[in-house]
Chain A
Amino acid sequence: DAGVIQSPRHEVTEMGQEVTLRCKPISGHDYLFWYRQTMMRGLELLIYFNNNVPIDDSGMPEDRFSAKMPNASFSTLKIQPSEPRDSAVYFCASSLTGRSNYGYTFGSGTRLTVV
């Protein structure tokens, strides 16, 4: 099991540019979560999917942020246009339905720097 795979690991971009973060969940997992981690705000849930369907996007900070899950093995988080305050570590996590399975597996994160 390769775990949750995120790419890229690091991204440096200029303000105003579009940024796309990618995530491959663990095969068979039916939940996928996007979190953002900053020193000031800690871990914030941005959006999560169940069976590829977005369930709750109330944590998405602005319309500049969008997320998709076109199939069970791939999700993207896009920021357009990016701003310096979007600089953070973005984590993807997945999990499997079922009480005994409750608890995420996290990817290693994408460190985004917007200059």
Chain B
Amino acid sequence: AQSVTQPDIHITVSEGASLELRCNYSYGATPYLFWYVQSPGQGLQLLLKYFSGDTLVQGIKGFEAEFKRSQSSFNLRKPSVHWSDAAEYFCAVGEFQGAQKLVFGQGTRLTINP
């Protein structure tokens, strides 16, 4: 069964600094990988997704993620964070075998210092 680990429960960065959120997955075949963002009191919004091809994927809000098969990782990055990026970030892995079930990590809460 697939699983997702987000090692960092909480990260604090200064506004304007770079950001990297870690995600490791466990899945036997080529995974479908996703990053979602959740602002307080809101649902989850899709930032980006990876199916195949170029291992560096671009998403909304200036985020990107890199798939590294050898490390079973799909880390999320942003060169310069803004105060509005403060939120909870979820990595998810899915299968595409007739079903679209996603398994989510526990999330990483991002705090931005002014």
Seen from chain A, the residues whose Cβ lies within 8 Å of a Cβ on chain B are 4, 31, 42-43, 45, 48, 50, 55-56, 91, 93, 95, 97, 99, 102-109
Q: Give 10 A-B contacts (CB < 8 Å), ordered by A residue.
A: A31-B100, A48-B99, A50-B99, A56-B99, A93-B44, A102-B94, A103-B34, A104-B44, A106-B45, A108-B43
Chain A residues positioned under 8 Å from B43 (CB to CB): 4, 91, 93, 106-109
Seen from chain B, the residues whose Cβ lies within 8 Å of a Cβ on chain A are 32, 34, 36, 41-46, 49, 51, 90, 94, 96, 99-107
Nearest chain B CB to A37's CB is how many angstroms away? 9
Asked if residues B100 and A102 are in contact (CB atoms below 8 Å), the reply is yes
Chain A residues positioned under 8 Å from B44 (CB to CB): 91, 93, 104, 106
Nearest chain B CB to A38's CB is how many angstroms away? 11
Lowest 6 CB-CB distances: which A-B pairs, in order?
A: A106-B43, A43-B104, A106-B44, A108-B43, A42-B106, A103-B49
Nearest chain A CB to B24's CB is how many angstroms away? 16
Which of B49, B100, B102, B105 has the largest count of A CB atoms less than 10 A from its CB? B100
Main secondary structure of the interface of A (DSSP, over half): strand
Nearest chain A CB to B34's CB is how many angstroms away? 6
Of A4, A50, A102, A107, which contacts B96 at CB under 8 A? A102
Query: If the complex has contacts A43-B90, A91-B43, are A102 and B49 also in contact, measured as CB distance less than 8 A?
Result: yes
Query: If the complex has contacts A55-B99, A56-B99, are A103 and B104 also in contact, measured as CB distance less than 8 A?
Result: no
